[in-house]
Amino acid sequence: MGVEIRVEGLTKSFGRQVIWQDVSLSIPAGEISVLLGPSGTGKSVFLKSLVGLLKPDRGHIWIGDRDLPRLPESKLYETRKLFGVLFQDGALFGSMNLFDNIAFPLREHTRKRESEIKNIVLEKMEMVGLLGAEHKLPGEISGGMKKRAGLARALVLDPEILLVDEPDSGLDPVRTAFLNQVFIDLNAQIGATFLIVTHDINTARTLPDNIGLLYQRHLAMFGPREMLLTSEEPVVRQFLNASKVGPIGMSEEKDESELEAEAKLGHDPGKLPPIPPQQMPSNGMLRTGMHAPGAWCAAHGVTPPPGSFIDDLGRNWVEEWPRYVASMSPVGAHGGPGAPGAPGAPGGPGGRFPGNPPPGRHGSGAGY
Ligand SMILES: Nc1ncnc2c1ncn2[C@@H]1O[C@H](COP(=O)(O)OP(=O)(O)OP(=O)(O)O)[C@@H](O)[C@H]1O
Ligand SMILES: [Mg+2]
């Protein structure tokens, strides 16, 4: 499950305003990728272009042998069914309860019977921890629940690709941590290709397999999490460390005088902080897209900053990883049903795993 999206030389402008140009990247199948960038750099425009809602000026978006911008309308309609999209505001219909909101794409795009629709809707609501809230109206629930309802709706057609625009905007850090856990668990369960736009640096550091950064009308970098978290490139370094020192200023770019003043003060961007362990599924599965901690650094001769891959219990995940993988059932090792109660499996008797929120997870009907 999950398909690769190959973007080549993509350029988009509105009138004379170039939003970004020559964007090329391959979003790996089944992995979780995060797209970062200062406000207004065109992240939402990028997602809308991927799904065919906006037409790029130039370039290609390959999904298998289909080039999206060049597909006739009928084929584009078919290809769009591969996508589940959660827009920035959740885009729920205010007058419909959550059940009907989530059932909407099934009633619009399929000929399934109501009994089948009910099964699917309840299954997806359970996946995102919303069971019990079927009859609530969007106006009666919290921001976090709205995001999860939007997510359940994005899942009902079993997408191969899930695009999510700022799921964490307006959420507090605890709710963000819970929502991130939902993404990790979902990815383990459905194995789709995830692309998540976020502003949250902690999310970017702990959630994805890959990180991309849009900056100054270009894709500054896209690659494995460990590559970006150890990058010396000033923009990447500043953004991923949420530092005021570097080329990004309040109005996106600092002007010459600000940069000069910083250089005079001799600001040192400082040592890189440790690479945190990646957040793990809580459902006793391994994600197919997940890479062994430290593998990218080892393969590229990069020494990770001291203290990297160590969780809050002091375990070093470069050493723990082989044991952890061995503790999984053979089916679970590649994203199958897994072994929820296997010794050492997250959520099982083995206790907490790196980056997981405290036990209790995203329980049904919880009010966040
Ligand atoms: N349909 C449109 N027509 C004209 N300009 C647009 C349109 N959609 C977006 N833009 C412009 O494109 C630029 C990028 O917008 P976009 O919403 O993609 O930014 P963003 O990176 O998602 O920002 P944020 O982080 O604040 O959500 C903005 O200058 C915006 O005004
Ligand atoms: Mg946006």
Distance separating alpha carbons of residues 53 and 216, to the nearest angstrom = 23
Core vs surface per residue 198-224: b (16+ CB within 10 A) or e = bebebbbbbbbbbbbbbbebebbbbbb
43 CA to middle of ligand 1, Å?
8
Q: What is the atom index within ligand 1 of the atom nearest the CA of 88?
A: 27
Minimum-distance ligand to the CA of 41? 1
CB distance 195 to 180 below 8 Å = no
Match 């070093």 to its residue by tokens.
Answer: 316
39 CA to middle of ligand 1, Å?
9
**What pLDDT score was predicted for residue 257?**
61
Minimum-distance ligand to the CA of 87? 2
DSSP code per residue over 11-57: EEEETTEEEEEEEEEEE-TT-EEEEE--TTSSHHHHHHHHTTSS--S
72 CA to middle of ligand 1, Å?
26
The closest alpha carbon to 162, from 103, 54, 85, 89, belongs to 85
Q: Nearest residue CA, atom 18 of ligand 1? A: 42
Per-residue model confidence as pLDDT tens digits over 164-210: 998 887 778 888 888 899 899 999 989 999 999 998 889 999 999 99
31 CA to middle of ligand 1, Å?
26
Q: What is the atom index within ligand 1 of the atom nearest the CA of 214?
A: 21
Minimum-distance ligand to the CA of 48? 1
pTM above 0.95, yes or no: no
Q: Which residues, judged by CB distance below 6 Å to any ligand atom, belong to the binding site of ligand 1?
A: 14, 19, 37, 39-45
Distance separating alpha carbons of residues 237 and 245, to the nearest angstrom = 10
Q: Nearest residue CA, atom 16 of ligand 1? A: 42
Could you give the angle at which helices 98-109 and 114-127 cross, rounded to 10 degrees? 130
Going residue by residue through the chain (368 aa), what tens digit of pLDDT does each one get?
789 999 999 999 999 999 999 999 999 999 999 999 988 899 999 999 999 889 999 999 999 999 999 999 888 888 888 999 998 766 789 899 999 999 999 998 889 999 999 999 999 998 888 999 999 999 998 888 888 899 899 999 889 999 999 888 777 888 888 889 989 999 998 999 999 999 888 999 999 999 999 998 999 999 999 999 999 888 888 888 766 666 666 555 555 665 566 555 555 556 788 999 999 998 778 888 889 999 999 999 999 999 999 999 999 999 999 988 888 755 444 444 443 333 333 333 333 344 443 333 333 333 34
Mutate to test the pocket of ligand 1, among 11, 13, 19, 197 (most ligand atoms within 8 A of CB): 19
